[in-house]
Amino acid sequence: MNDKLVSTIIRLGAFALLAALIVLMFPRYSNAFRYHYEVGKPWSYKTLTADFDFPIYKTEEQLDREQKQLLSTFTPCYNYIRGAQRQVLVISLLEKEWLDENGFSRIAVTQNRVSRTYPLSEVYTPKSAFSRFGYDCAQNLVRDTAMTDQMKQSLLASLSPTQGMVQKGERIIENGEIVSDKDYQILHSLRQAYDDESLGTHQRTLSVIGEAILVILFLCLFVIYLYVFRPAYLRSVSTVLFFCLLMLIVIGLACLALHFGITVYLIPFAWVPILTRVFFDSRTALFLHFTTILVTSLVVPAPVEFFFIQIVVGMVAVSSLSDMTRRAQLVETAAWIFLAQTVAYTAITFAQTGAWTSIDLWMYLYFFVCALLTVGCYGLIYMFEKLFRFISSITLVELTDINSELLHTLAERAPGTFQHSMQVSNLAAEAAKTIGANALLVRTGALYHDIGKMTDPFYFVENQVGTDNPLLQLDPRDAAQVVISHVTEGEKIARRNHLPEVIVNFITSHHGTSLVRYFYNTWCNAHPGEPVDENLFRYPGPKPSTKEGAILMMADAIEARSRSLNEFTEQAIAQAVDQMIDAQIADGQFAETPLSFKDVEDIRRIFKARLTAINHHRISYPTLNK
């Protein structure tokens, strides 16, 4: 089994497993009755009529109130102890406290199979009897626990849990009608009737099948989006696993909240667009967010309201976080999300009910807590960076700090290389902006692309001040190997300092598989007609595979070439840029990148303009005549 097939199986398996886990996580309440309703909100479905007769169940509050009222007339049962004197009815102090705590006002006393009821005022404890009559009285009543419980259960069993019936064909509620307390009670009773296994088994099975089909449909639409617009994401196992894990976390939290009766508005759905935008792009972030809330809408109460509010959340998150380069941006985004949720909820409630009284003030507290949890997304950024070897804009900004230990060491050991890297980073960033590539990424890669020269800095001409070039004293083949080694040494240094893999790729690919042309030509000129092993003069690669990698390769070569020019005229600079880029194209160095002809022409134009501006002619200042 080849690696490509294994990768395909893993990617498809990830989406299949995600679909299965989502359906399994969905709360299994009232699957046969799939309507969502709230008191004070309009009924958003078609007019509902009863398909069968069902009773109207009393609410928990009603049952509790009726039970208390019924128990207020209940009398506990006591047995009279044989042989005791009957002048005074005496119970223990603990028993008297139990009667008072439960609110009983009378007790039933049984003697010789004859029961008689006494008010609690005629029942004493040994202490109160002595105070009342002036002599000791022993306890002569014992509670008959079994009889008391039996009588209590019999009394409670007489309480009906229902109040009235709804007949088959009777109208329950019309479309657009505001759900009242009475309507809610009837709808809840219908839900309970559907929960009866004799009525709901078939419907429940079909409901689960329907859920599974919808979940698979939504995930397939997301996969189609990736296939058409972002095929590189779909080909990457780590990226697919990231999308699946992120959806699983957020949907799982929502299902867990529903299971425990917690509102889903406490779940930070904004994690999905924020994390996706940080590592990828806005369109994918929004599409993944829509997929996530569509799936979640299958099980939440008031799905239409939930869907519209969460759409607003996703749009605000993506719009306010175009490029996250500061930690404070996450706090600002959370604040905008809180404001957007508040406005969206208020507007939807007014549109549906047209009444201030329909506003649930607790919702604003939920939105505020959700905004605070959104800020916690910062920790997830770090976790996903390490787990999937992604890189965020925040990390790139931190890496571009020239006061960092690695760049500071480069500036000390190889100052010429450091200045070269700075110039290359500026050139590459300008070109990246022009063609819509990641300017921050290529700037960061450019700063580190030559760190391998720290090992032997004086072998490289930019670090040689007033000394001969030691490479010229070596055999051209050995000299070429010294130059080539700065790539392999750079990779070692980068990995030793735990630089992200994407930065390591810039180091290994910034020369591609090109020839060390100076020493190759020198050797060929010195040995005319002799066969030459090009591998001794060729960089190990790989070739750049991204636009950013290609831009860095061009900028590195052109910046170095510009330093060898005898004159810095516009024509000379333009000719140098064209020759260098044409040579790289002819050598096939950009064959694996997605650069277009237009991209290459735009890059040429930017390089020519920037190098001309950097090396422009300055006027000579006149000397002062004495």
- Measured from the Cβ of residue 327, the count of other Cβ atoms closer than 10 Å reads 12
pLDDT tens-digit map of 534-553? 889 999 989 999 999 999 99
Whether 420 contacts 462, CB under 8 Å: yes
Would you list the domain boundaries of the chain? Answer: 3-27+200-351+361-374, 64-157, 393-614
Q: What pTM value is reported for the model?
A: 0.70
Q: pLDDT digits over 100-153, tens only?
A: 888 888 888 888 778 888 888 888 888 888 888 877 788 888 888 888 888 888
Cis peptide before 542 (omega within 30 of 0): yes
- Tell me, what's the pLDDT at 31? 45
- The predicted pLDDT at position 364 comes to 95
Q: Which residues lie below 8 Å from residue 515, measured CB to CB, with a gap of 6+? A: 534, 537, 538, 539, 587
Mean pLDDT (the chain) is 88
Considering the domain 393-614, what is its CATH architecture?
Answer: Orthogonal Bundle (1.10)
Counting other chains too, the contacts that 178-186 makes at CB distance below 8 Å and 24 or more residues apart are: 178/40, 178/41, 178/42, 178/43, 178/353, 179/37, 179/38, 179/39, 179/40, 179/41, 179/42, 179/43, 180/39, 181/39, 183/37, 183/43, 184/37, 184/38, 184/39, 185/56, 185/57, 185/59, 186/56
DSSP per-residue letters across 191-238:
HHHHHSHHHHHHHHHHHHHHHHHHHHHHHHHHHHHHHHH-HHHHH-HH
Q: What pLDDT is attached to residue 30?
A: 45
Question: Mind giving me the DSSP string for 566-603?
Answer: S---HHHHHHHHHHHHHHHHHTTTTTTS---HHHHHHH
Give every strand in the sheet of 106-111, ordered side by side. 114-119, 106-111, 77-80, 141-143
Question: CA 410 to CA 416: how far, in whole Å?
Answer: 9
CA distance 223 to 428: 33
Structure tokens at 619: 């006027």
Residues 6+ positions from 234 with CB-CB distance below 8 Å: 11, 223, 226, 227, 240
Task: Give the mean pLDDT per block of 10 residues along the chain (626 residues).
Answer: 80 94 81 68 79 84 84 85 71 88 85 84 87 82 88 85 85 84 85 63 75 95 95 92 96 92 92 93 95 94 88 94 74 94 92 80 94 90 88 87 92 94 95 93 95 92 81 89 94 93 94 92 88 90 94 95 83 92 94 94 94 71 67
